[in-house]
């Protein structure tokens, strides 16, 4: 909180502050929430609470002053399969050097439309709703691992060694969701 003064405090997965079931006698999450609430009136900090809609209701009801201090609530729709496919493409296009996917690319058949169809077939609506964009990273990591397993040890073709196929992505989703 002290470091965020004069700026923004972003609390991701804020619903974790107020667990659905109490685990012990000391509720540090509620204590943390109350500490955050205590500085919100000073005007020197912007606090953004992020989380899934349903669990966030616990946070809102946990502190009587929450709705007075948090005056704007934005609800974003879950990503659809096309948007998830677009995220895959963005991640593959803008890789960082320390990424396990650095230097890898998608096969031309792994276009957004084909990838959206794959996600529609291989995931349920419930899985997409619960995991949302969280599907993408493990799917790509598993696809990369599938590529490694799929190739013959004698393969020296750089193109083959660095190109993730639709089958790799399919296996990536299946491994993640099993």
Question: What confidence tens digit (pLDDT) does each residue in 42-76 have?
Answer: 888 999 999 988 899 999 998 888 888 888 999 98
Q: Is the dihedral of CA 128, 131, 137, 143 positive or negative?
A: negative
- CA 47 to CA 2: how far, in whole Å? 12
Distance from chain centroid for Cα 11: 14
- CA 94 to CA 102: how far, in whole Å? 9
In this structure, what DSSP letter does residue 104 have? -
Does this model's pTM top 0.95?
no
pLDDT confidence of 19, banded at 50, 70, 90?
Answer: confident
The neighbouring-strand residues paired with 163 are 105
Angle among Cα 79, 82, 85 to the nearest 5 degrees reads: 95
Question: What confidence tens digit (pLDDT) does each residue in 85-105 have?
Answer: 999 999 999 988 888 899 999
- CA 36 to CA 70: how far, in whole Å? 11
In this structure, what DSSP letter does residue 65 have? T
pLDDT confidence of 23, banded at 50, 70, 90?
Answer: low
The string of DSSP codes covering 136-157 is: HHHHHHHHHHHHHHHS-TT---
- CA 100 to CA 98: how far, in whole Å? 7
Q: Are strands 163-164 and 8-11 parallel, antiparallel or unpaired?
A: unpaired
- The domain spans of the chain are 8-69, 81-177
Residue 7, pLDDT score:
94
**Token pair for 73:** 């609530």
């Amino acid at each position: 909180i002290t470091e965020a003064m004069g700026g923004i405090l972003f609390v991701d997965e804020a619903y974790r502050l107020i667990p659905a079931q109490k685990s012990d006698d000391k509720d540090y999450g509620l204590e943390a929430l109350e500490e955050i609430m205590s500085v919100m009136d000073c005007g020197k900090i912007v606090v953004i609470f992020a989380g899934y809609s349903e669990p966030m209701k616990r946070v809102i009801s946990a502190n009587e002053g929450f709705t007075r201090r948090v005056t704007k609530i934005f609800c974003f729709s879950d990503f659809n399969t096309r948007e998830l496919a677009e995220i895959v493409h963005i991640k593959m296009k803008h890789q960082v050097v320390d990424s396990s996917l650095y230097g890898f690319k998608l096969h031309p058949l792994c276009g957004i439309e084909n990838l959206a169809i794959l996600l529609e077939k291989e995931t349920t609506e419930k899985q997409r709703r619960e995991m949302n964009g969280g599907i993408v990273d493990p799917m790509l990591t598993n696809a990369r691992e599938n590529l490694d397993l799929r190739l013959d040890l004698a393969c020296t073709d750089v193109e083959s060694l660095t190109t993730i196929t639709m089958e790799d992505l399919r296996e990536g989703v299946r491994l993640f969701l099993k």
